Chains A and B, each alone.
With several copies, the nearest count.
Chain A
Amino acid sequence: MPFPDKTTDLAAAISKIGDGARVMIGGFGVPGTPFTLIEELVRQGPRNLTIIKNDANEPGMGVDWLLQAGLVKRLITSHVGLNGNAVRMMNAGEIEVEFVAQGILAERIRTAGAGLRGFVSDIGVGTLLAEGKKRIEIDGETLLFEPALEADFALVHAATADTFGNLAYVATARNFNPLMAMAAECTIAEAEDLVPLGGLAPDAIHTPAPFVDHLVALPPELMEVYGVVKR
């Protein structure tokens, strides 16, 4: 039984992303951030993007490239503390920022990926973070409804992929990547290592290929931004 080959050209994959798209971007800090896909997105320059990412990376890295290029209208994130530029743009009203508690962000993304409408939790009840959220009464207790968070595109970074689009991540570079890969209409993955079918053990695959639409193989020499951050 053969499987489709989903490898494609970087520019062609990213060209599908147009103005106003909602784009999820994997990664927590540097690990798992698809810098090559982001760089190409900046080069092609669609505007008014809604970006969904755990954090805003650091100045001069990843999401910050999109911010500096003025392509971002709205950022849905858990924390931007390591990017002073994002904080400045938020305070100046140059971007809208929606803060979501980190695990709730992860779960809202997963919920979209699971084809469900939302979930109900007690996280944030009685705090500022509950404001504006729909209340649900369950067994006499007032809880919060958290809607599924889906996107048009997910950009994810994998350590290894086969040509069908099965993905494996390493270490803490996994983070939001497998969740986002499930939650978007179209998932574009970049992979450091491309292997033939059967090159990944089926028990060790983190994202099954049916969730992946397009696959971009990274060059053997990665951009410096993927490396250890010198602080």
Chain B
Amino acid sequence: MSSSAKQRMLARAARDILPGMTVNLGIGLPTQVMAHVAPDCPVCLHSENGIAGVGGLTAPGREDRNLIDAGGGYILCAAGGSFFDSAVSFALVRGGRLDLTLLGAFEIAANGDLANWIIPGKFAAGVGGAIELAQKARRVGVLTTHTDKHGNPKILERCTLPLTARGCVDRIYTDMAVCDVRPDGLHLVELAEGVELAELRFATGAPLIVADGPIPRF
């Protein structure tokens, strides 16, 4: 993934973060989306270790040893932010008060299944908070390179890895496209600048439903 393709993907995901939302950004790529949200957009950033109102990353040397996000990054608390325990933090997630989460993925299926926590025999460091975020956020976006490092599709007809949650994904943002999971299958919403439809179909392991007319670009 080129740096410019990555920036476009991050900026595109950021456009779906709307004023008034409470949002949780997963570790890795999703965390980087925040830099693309307009600074005056009223968004409450939740991190599952116990804060609503993340105010950005701390400048080096100014870190507060007691104030991190779930990825271990040192953060600021915005005016109007709050701290709470881990039970309240997940009550907020499971109770329907999280409007949006953006997560990473190993595999996504056309029916919205998500696999992002275990590769049996290779990677199994624990599910952390992913399962509850994926299953219970009101809206779930996945942010990922369209293919893995070997060029294989990460979007499949069915996941091969153990699932994080069934049918949970609403929208997929990649370096190549934005796709929506709908009851009748995977819909192409937008195509990245410079990507051809044939190229996208080749890199996608599930049938893509494409509306008539010009495909919007991002």
Query: Are A and B direct contacts in the complex by CB distance below 8 Å?
Result: yes
Chain A residues in the interface with B (C-beta under 8 A) = 1-4, 28-32, 54-55, 77-82, 87, 97, 99, 101-107, 109-110, 112-116, 121-129, 159, 162-164, 166, 169-179, 182-183, 197-198, 200, 202-203, 205-206, 208-211, 226-229
Interface string of B92-132 (1 = CB under 8 A from A): 11111110000000000000000000100000111111111
Given A1-B56, A113-B95, 7 extra CB contacts under 8 A: A31-B65, A87-B125, A106-B87, A116-B94, A124-B131, A166-B80, A210-B44
Given A28-B49, A178-B85, A227-B65, do A211 and B118 touch, yes or no (CB 8 Å)? no
Q: How far is the CA of A121 from the CA of B91 in the complex (A)?
A: 12
Any chain A CB within 8 A of the CB of B14? no
Q: How far is the CA of A79 from the CA of B43 in the complex (A)?
A: 28
Cβ-closest chain A residue relative to B63:
A228
Chain A residue numbers with a CB within 8 Å of B52 are: 208-210
**One of B19, B118, B131 near A101 (C-beta < 8 A):** B131
The answer to whether B65 touches A82 (Cβ under 8 A) is: no
The answer to whether B163 touches A127 (Cβ under 8 A) is: yes
Any chain A CB within 8 A of the CB of B64? yes
Q: How far is the CA of A121 from the CA of B87 in the complex (A)?
A: 14
Cβ-closest chain B residue relative to A207:
B82
The answer to whether A101 touches B83 (Cβ under 8 A) is: no
Interface 9-mer from B67-75, B172-180, B187-195, B200-208:
B67-75
Any chain A CB within 8 A of the CB of B216? no
Complex A-B, nearest 7 residue pairs according to Cβ-Cβ distance, in ascending order: A103-B90, A115-B94, A198-B79, A79-B126, A81-B125, A197-B80, A106-B86
Chain A residue numbers with a CB within 8 Å of B65 are: 30-31, 226-228
Chain A residue numbers with a CB within 8 Å of B46 are: 210
The answer to whether B118 touches A128 (Cβ under 8 A) is: yes
**One of A3, A102, A116, A211 near B127 (C-beta < 8 A):** A102
**One of A1, A174, A211 near B53 (C-beta < 8 A):** A1
- B27 to chain A minimum Cβ distance, whole angstroms, is 9
The answer to whether A114 touches B132 (Cβ under 8 A) is: no
Cβ-closest chain B residue relative to A101:
B131
The answer to whether A228 touches B126 (Cβ under 8 A) is: no
Residue from B77, B129, B164 having most chain A Cβ neighbours under 10 A: B129
Q: How far is the CA of A172 from the CA of B44 in the complex (A)?
A: 16
**One of B41, B45, B66, B127 near A129 (C-beta < 8 A):** B127
Task: Please tell me the number of chain B residues within 8 Å of chain A, measured between CB atoms.
Answer: 70
Chain B residues in the interface with A (C-beta under 8 A) = 19-20, 22, 39-56, 63-70, 72, 74, 77-98, 118, 124-132, 135-136, 162-166
Cβ-closest chain B residue relative to A27:
B49
**One of B51, B74, B87, B162 near A228 (C-beta < 8 A):** B74
The answer to whether A202 touches B131 (Cβ under 8 A) is: no
Q: How far is the CA of A132 from the CA of B184 in the complex (A)?
A: 33
Chain B residue numbers with a CB within 8 Å of A206 are: 85
The answer to whether B91 touches A113 (Cβ under 8 A) is: yes
- A154 to chain B minimum Cβ distance, whole angstroms, is 12
Cβ-closest chain B residue relative to A162:
B80
**One of B42, B56, B80, B92 near A198 (C-beta < 8 A):** B80
The answer to whether B83 touches A127 (Cβ under 8 A) is: no
